[in-house]
Structure 1
Amino acid sequence: MERDTLSCFISDHEGFYGTIKNSPQDFVVVEMDTHGQLVNSPNVQEKHTKRPQQSQANKRDDKSKPDDTDILNQDCFDLNLILGPAMTEELEHFTNKMRANEICDQEKAELSLGTYPDKHLRAVVHKAVRYNFPFLQTVTNQSEIRVREDPDFKELASLSSEGEAEEFFRFIDAKVPGSVFTFLPDDSKEHRTSVHHFVSRRFGKLVETKSFTDQEKTSITVRLRERSKQPKKRTIADCQEEEVTLYTAFMLRKDNLETLEAISYMAAVLGVLPSDFTYAGIKDKRAITYQAMVVKKISPERLLDKVSEFERRGMQISHVRPVSEPLKLGRLQGNHFDLVVRDLKPHGKNGLTELQQLVKEAVENVKNRGFVNYYGPQRFGSGLCVQADQIGLALLMEKMEASVKLFFTPEDGDDLQNKAKRHFLLSGNAKESLALMPAYKARERLMLRALHRYGSGQEGCIRGWLSLPHSMRVFYLHSYCSRVWNEAAKYRLQKLGFKAVQGDLVWAGSETGLKSTTEELNAPQVHVVTSEEEKEEVFSLDQVILPMPGNSVKYPENLLGQWYRDRLAQDGLGSCRFRVTPLKLNVPGCYRALLAKPQNITYSLRTAEEPSLSLTFDLDASCYATVCLGEIMKHNLS
């Protein structure tokens, strides 16, 4: 199967040719919230200004779904966005001189990072500097933040190594109760005692240490103490501190801009982290899109102050209001689309006079029968040379160096980002490539910064991937699994036809559950179709679901199940556990309905001068308008 050729359609109408996304105005996407209301509707602001407190039962139900809000909060921090390029360069110059023992003057042994009146932003700076430079100590004097060498780090580095000391201090800063850090084996009891004494003296209230022997080698383990189970008496200060945490909701309109790119820019302007923004879904780049967002630690007034700066980058902010909680990925009913298809032409010899009939037949067929629920081209990234699923495959095979080379494979263009990528692949010099990489390319800059510090070998590449937020890392694995799902859907229809057959998996939930079959189903009630049920046609094709590969899904019990096994083995994943332990990634898998249907579809055809077709329809979350259009037109679109 060709990489982007999804030629298996379920309707038999003729279709027509046309072009989409001639301009962003031709592809308008408006998110629908969980109530089915458009996020740009005037009464959204009033409706969501106050949110009721969730019951404990509802909170437990929320935990049954992956919480990408929690995942995003595991960000590693890009100082270039937080401090700005000039200050980051000055900080790196300072640390390089400090590590080379080139600072003799006591007055120059400290560096001021500037004044930060906002205490939340000060906390962000402290955490980011400590993460990137564990050997530094950050000190606040009134609102000014200064950095200097951390004597505790220097002492531990003399007892172990700089690498171990860095890992240990990151372990301490993460403050994960019950987590364990293990030093390398050490045969010297006297030396181990020195390490025990250092850790106990400096971090005794936080940790406990002990030595253990494994295969005649003795190591020291350090465990962060569990939090006290005794409820802490709440003080007035605690309550005041809680009240300081702000959440501001807003509606973002963006024009020809990636969602993550927009967030990176807004975070830099507001002086917060990209992970402080939460959203329900990622929207197309080549489009005008409207979506709900929530930003943490920023007041509505402060957000509104920056409106003019956002507008310069093709972003408009409205519906600004205080709320009590962040958004969660997937918390939307779907999306509403207003599309224009231009340059319409019949596939065959039919003239323009018959175009009206062709369009009507195509729209009615898809309205009644739906379309194959393929993942659209956006799922695989915009790259033509290397797409995200290829990177995902390399990561699943734990080929770290190969995955980084794929990540930096340039396209044909001669813009700055492609020049930076070519320079890295040719020279291996991450620092010089970082200087070339545009500031808005947050992922690439995070990766290059880590490669500059740790090298481009296996370990350095692991550090590079770990420098990206969890959601970015796991995106590539999901992209690979989506590619396999698309191929499985095509194979299923070509080999087993358009009815539910023995061995198929179907959604066997309630009627209410059937409404969700166009979404990714993480824990559905899966039923295997029996031979009797096939004969009696108990289930229809729109109840069939296919698994996304992972370690917690079951596969169909017919030839499609064998196809999955052969397909994964073909890529070297025959025994894959769908876990990439070095990168802290786990893919349990999920289920996705084979078919999807557009709702509330309307159209109008204009044949004067250049024929064009205007379409509006709604799709459930995780369904792609380009795929729906492909079924209507009988033409693969990107």
Structure 2
Amino acid sequence: MRQDSDAVNVPACFISNHEGFLGSIKNLIRDFVVTEIDITGQRVNTAADTQTAACASSHQNNETRAEFEEDSRCLVSQDADDSADCGDDVTIPSPGSFDLSVILGQSVSDELEQFVLTLKDEKTTKQELSLGCFPDKHHRANVHRAVRHRFPFLMTVTIQPEIRVREDPDYRELSQLVTEDEAEDFFRFIDAKVRGSSYTFGPDDSKEHRTVVHHFLSRRFGKLVETKSFSDQGTTAISVRLREQGRPKKRTAEERKEEEVYTGFTLCKENLETLEAISYMAAALGVLPSDFTYAGIKDKRAITYQSMVVKKVSPQRLKEKTAEFEKRGMRLSQICSVSEPLRLGRLQGNHFDLVVRDLRPHRATDTLTNTHTRLAGLVQEAVENVEARGFVNYYGPQRFGSGQSAQSDRVGLALLKEDMVGAVRLFFTPDESDDPQSHAKRHFLETDNAKESLALMPLSKARERLMLRALNRYGTGPDGCAQAWLSLPHSMRVFYPHAYCSRVWNEAVAHRLTTLGHRARRGDLVWRQEGQKREEDTGETSLPEIHVVTDQEEQEGVYTLGQVLLPMLGNTVMYPENAMGTWFQERLARDGLDECRFRVGSLKLNLPGCYRPLLAFPRNLRYQLQRAACEEGGGEATGGSSSRRSDRQLNGTTVGGKRDPLALTLNFDLDSSCYATICLREIMKCDP
């Protein structure tokens, strides 16, 4: 029932009692392929063209990494906050959230950073910096947008095709009237130009000072905004609203049409992280990484297929770049016009094609002549059990940043405790290796010198570079560290508190199974059957009613273990009304979070929480067992669906006293945010 596990933060509680077997995964990139299943239930590469089919035929197999991907199957408490966990309301990364080196090139980006530091030191408005020439108008537009969002106190000026930057004198004047953070946020609000939107400055009880601010805003921005003072709970503040009729700049009909263009496509990538692929495509197309949207993040060491949408790029223009992308391990297919961007979590799940190699029994007592026969029986029993009984729906080790010295859940705990400095130092904890990334992290922890560490950090490490740039600009104290976290997109920022909540959930489900067994018990939370109906017109699942199991329902066996839910920590969820409710309270108190509201206002994070099923079930499960030496040539095999087995046995061949190792091919579907590696743990009874 229980077994020691090397997987960090993933307890070893199992549902079935079969013996299992040993083996290894991801020996080759083609051994793990994941294909998204869209909200209509179709695999995204079903209608792939010949180009993508070639990618699929030469590579088979991967797993979804749940960093940044929220659980579309998770049942969200009703909350209108746009930071909701596990729902569709996930903030799209802003232009300022990405490394300007992608847009400007590394050398120009570094020069711009130095220019900004010089402005701060010398306090002069006469300095100016050339960012270079940008013949493509789309590229110029994105340079203007990214630079102004990242550095609101700069003006960008085009002397076609050259772009120059200088300090904005209006920003300097406003920053003398309000705080520097408020001035930056106000200029970002102005630059976003969202009609009807508003911005509110901090409380200001001085009428004379408010009058000065009103006059400045009216004089410099009166055509764009209207201002007013309002009182709330004894304090007074200034609210600024963008005028409905305000047109901050004139755009040609062609530019307006380009802004509204959305192009969808299927991306097949190999040995690339999703954000790394997006950064490369954005630079090649002259758009921002934030102009790409997707339903979920995919693993690096794998072949993955996923839907994407890019804004402001026509299908024809995207097709012209496909040959260039292919050289970087990216194949694009099904390129077509669409009406809107994608949203995180907008998928039913993922289809997995994976290979487990070097199969062998847990107990090495079998003779050479019966090892393969015994393995065939072990595999059949294991697969049939998991298909029928499911597996514990743990969050996988990817959720916690496996391989890192400092796990992501520890960073998340520090953020929930609003220990910004501690969270940054945990974030930069290096691995034991001496690769460039670890060397840069080690240098930062030893010297506190963000600028030198940035120079050492590889260009591919986007998150680390964003943090170091912010730390270089704002300092390494509490406020500077908070600004460093704010430099990350919301979906990256919220990942760390989610990792902590996932760790507690994993511990909770192991405790629940150990202490209360494998039946639905009084006080457990379940969803009612009527809440699981799927709306055919939208493909969305309506929120079920959360129900507390009664004594009578436990005695009559009304609910099964597969219907039991455990809450993900948050400020809107209810907790089980049995011993598990007490366990959650004690667990949070042990980490100093007994009074935690799961909001970090300074980082704009809110975790309302959600409910996650205790069990998950693979669908459309099939397997095939064959000799690895004959794998490419179609050697003898048994397999099929888990409920059907061929009569042919694997006898194999013996060479030098050793038999050919066996390989197991598995194909199955999982709901979003369920982990194939966790399913494999239940099948194999070990960490693959």
User: How would you bin the TM-score normalised by the shorter chain?
Assistant: 0.7 to 0.9
Distance 1:503 1:72, change over 3 A: same
Aligned to 1:83: 104
C-alpha contact (below 8 Å) 1:335/1:621 kept by paired residues: yes
Distance 2:604 2:119 in 1: 33
Of 284-293 and 236-245, deviating more is 236-245
Distance 2:621 2:88 in 1: 32
C-alpha contact (below 8 Å) 2:88/2:345 kept by paired residues: no
Structure 1 residue 390 corresponds to structure 2 residue 447? no
Aligned to 2:672: 621
Distance 1:417 1:116, change over 3 A: same
What are the superposed Cα offsets for residues 552-587 of structure 1, whole Å, 9 maximum, x if unpaired? 111111111111111111111111110010000000
Distance 1:632 1:520 in 2: 31
Distance 1:446 1:319, change over 3 A: same
Aligned to 2:438: 418
Deviation for aligned residue 1:99: 4.3
Aligned to 2:167: 149
Distance 1:253 1:69 in 2: 24
Percent of paired sites with the same residue: 59
Write the letter of the residue equivalent to 1:302: R
Of 556-565 and 176-185, deviating more is 176-185
C-alpha contact (below 8 Å) 2:348/2:672 kept by paired residues: yes
1:479-490 correspondence runs (5 A): 479-490=499-510
Distance 2:461 2:560 in 1: 46
What are the superposed Cα offsets for residues 356-375 of structure 1, whole Å, 9 maximum, x if unpaired? 11111111111111111111
Distance 1:354 1:360 in 2: 10
Structure 1 residue 403 corresponds to structure 2 residue 454? no
Distance 1:378 1:551, change over 3 A: same
Distance 1:570 1:444, change over 3 A: same
Aligned to 1:135: 153
Distance 2:342 2:671 in 1: 18
Q: 5+ unaligned residues in a row in structure 2: which ranges? A: 51-79, 628-651, 653-659
Residue correspondences, number: 610
Q: Which has the higher contact order (CA 8 A, sep 6+)?
A: 2
Query: Among residues 290, 299, 304, which one is paired with 1:289 in the alignment?
Result: 304
Write the letter of the residue equivalent to 2:104: L
Of 606-615 and 13-22, deviating more is 606-615
Distance 1:313 1:184, change over 3 A: farther
Structure 1 residue 526 corresponds to structure 2 residue 577? no
C-alpha contact (below 8 Å) 1:332/1:621 kept by paired residues: yes
Aligned to 2:337: 322
Deviation for aligned residue 1:100: 4.3
Distance 1:349 1:166, change over 3 A: closer
Write the letter of the residue equivalent to 1:619: L
Distance 1:262 1:536, change over 3 A: same
Write the letter of the residue equivalent to 2:497: L
Deviation for aligned residue 1:512: 4.4
What are the superposed Cα offsets for residues 470-489 of structure 1, whole Å, 9 maximum, x if unpaired? 01001111111111111111
C-alpha contact (below 8 Å) 1:253/1:290 kept by paired residues: yes
Deviation for aligned residue 1:274: 1.9
Distance 2:540 2:603 in 1: 24
What are the superposed Cα offsets for residues 269-296 of structure 1, whole Å, 9 maximum, x if unpaired? 3222222111111222221111111111
Write the letter of the residue equivalent to 1:127: R
Structure 1 residue 372 corresponds to structure 2 residue 378? no
Write the letter of the residue equivalent to 1:624: Y
What are the superposed Cα offsets for residues 68-118 of structure 1, whole Å, 9 maximum, x if unpaired? 5643347534222221111112223334444444989x7xx4333233355
Aligned to 1:28: 33
Distance 2:326 2:685 in 1: 38
Distance 1:231 1:500, change over 3 A: farther
Structure 1 residue 123 corresponds to structure 2 residue 124? no
Deviation for aligned residue 1:36: 2.0
Distance 2:258 2:120 in 1: 42
Aligned to 1:271: 286
Deviation for aligned residue 1:184: 6.6
Distance 1:428 1:521 in 2: 48
Distance 1:103 1:73, change over 3 A: closer
Structure 1 residue 203 corresponds to structure 2 residue 221? yes
Query: Among residues 432, 445, 462, which one is paired with 2:465 in the alignment?
Result: 445
Of 581-590 and 87-96, deviating more is 87-96
Distance 1:551 1:163 in 2: 28
What are the superposed Cα offsets for residues 420-467 of structure 1, whole Å, 9 maximum, x if unpaired? 111111111111111111112111111111100100100001100101
Distance 1:418 1:563, change over 3 A: same
Write the letter of the residue equivalent to 1:568: L
C-alpha contact (below 8 Å) 1:450/1:460 kept by paired residues: yes
1:253-264 correspondence runs (5 A): 253-264=268-279
Aligned to 1:634: 685
Q: For 1:147, what is the secondary structure of its paired residue?
A: strand
Distance 1:441 1:268 in 2: 16
Write the letter of the residue equivalent to 2:239: R
Distance 1:455 1:142, change over 3 A: same
TM-score normalized by the length of structure 2: 0.82
Distance 1:619 1:18 in 2: 21
Aligned to 2:73: none
Query: Among residues 88, 92, 97, which one is paired with 2:113 in the alignment?
Result: 92
Distance 1:412 1:124 in 2: 39
Distance 1:158 1:578, change over 3 A: closer
Distance 1:196 1:471 in 2: 35
Deviation for aligned residue 1:347: 1.1
Write the letter of the residue equivalent to 1:486: N
Distance 1:515 1:79, change over 3 A: same
Deviation for aligned residue 1:243: 5.9
Q: For 1:78, what is the secondary structure of its paired residue?
A: coil
Distance 1:211 1:524 in 2: 41
Q: 5+ unaligned residues in a row in structure 1: which ranges? A: 46-60
Aligned to 1:301: 316
Aligned to 1:222: 238
Distance 1:479 1:531 in 2: 34
What are the superposed Cα offsets for residues 580-624 of structure 1, whole Å, 9 maximum, x if unpaired? 100000001111111111111111222441121111111121111
Q: For 1:89, what is the secondary structure of its paired residue?
A: helix
Distance 1:120 1:614 in 2: 46
Distance 1:114 1:528, change over 3 A: same
Distance 1:565 1:62 in 2: 25
C-alpha contact (below 8 Å) 1:521/1:591 kept by paired residues: no
Deviation for aligned residue 1:299: 1.8
Aligned to 2:523: 503
C-alpha contact (below 8 Å) 1:75/1:275 kept by paired residues: no
Of 523-532 and 458-467, deviating more is 523-532
Write the letter of the residue equivalent to 1:278: T
Distance 1:305 1:536 in 2: 64
Distance 1:244 1:117, change over 3 A: farther
Aligned to 2:21: 16
TM-score normalized by the length of structure 1: 0.88
CA RMSD of aligned residues (A): 3.3
